[in-house]
Structure formats: structure tokens, C-alpha cells
Amino acid sequence: MNDLLKKGFLLGLGAAVMSKEKVENYFQELVAKGKLTPKEADDLYESLLRKGEETGDKWNRRSKERIHNILTDLDMVTKEEWLELKSRLDMLEERLDAFMEEDKK
């Protein structure tokens, strides 16, 4: 499964790199043909990058929400809940140790 995820990630990364190169080449062609000024090409490129980042952020938020919902449905404890329980257990163990020490006296 881990290998499958790795291959999927690398495939997506490769597609993104190829797409980026194709977009850059396309803009260079438009500038060469005089259909866009270099400034317009840069502005359009930056706009596409911003939209891509926004879409990526949105996808990440949705993925996190889905994972959170799945873990909630499975009644999994959160890290914060686990740390709170661990803290309480540590405190109870300390109190028990102190009680046991007093009982030995």
C-alpha cells in the first residue's frame, strides 16, 4: 500500500511538472506571436499559480475534514484527548505511588 501511495504521489508530481512546463511554453509562444506582452504573460501565469494554490488548499481542507469525520465515526480519540488521559493516568500513578509509600511507613 505504501508503494502504491508513493507511486501515486510521484505520478501527480510528474504531471504537475509537465503541465507547468507546457504552460510556460504556451505563454512563451503567445509572447513570441505578439498575442501577449511579457507582463501579461507573467500576470496570467501568477494568476494560474494562485488559483492552483487555492484549489490545493481547498482540497487539503476537505481531505482533513473527511479524515476527521472518518476517525470520529470510528470513535477514535484525538491526540489532545489521548494526551489528557495520559496526563491524568500519570497523575493517578504518582498519587498511588505516594499512597503506597505512606502505607509502608
| Residues 1-54 pLDDT 10s | 567 666 666 666 566 766 778 878 888 888 899 988 999 888 888 888 888 788
Provide the pLDDT for residue 94: 96
Select the more confidently predicted residue: 12 or 85.
85
- Identify the CA nearest to 45 among candidates 24, 30, 25: 24
Q: Region 76-83: what's the mean pLDDT?
A: 92
Place of cell 502504491: 4
Provide the pLDDT for residue 92: 97
Q: Where are the domains of the chain?
A: 2-74, 77-105
- Identify the CA nearest to 19 among candidates 49, 50, 43, 63: 49
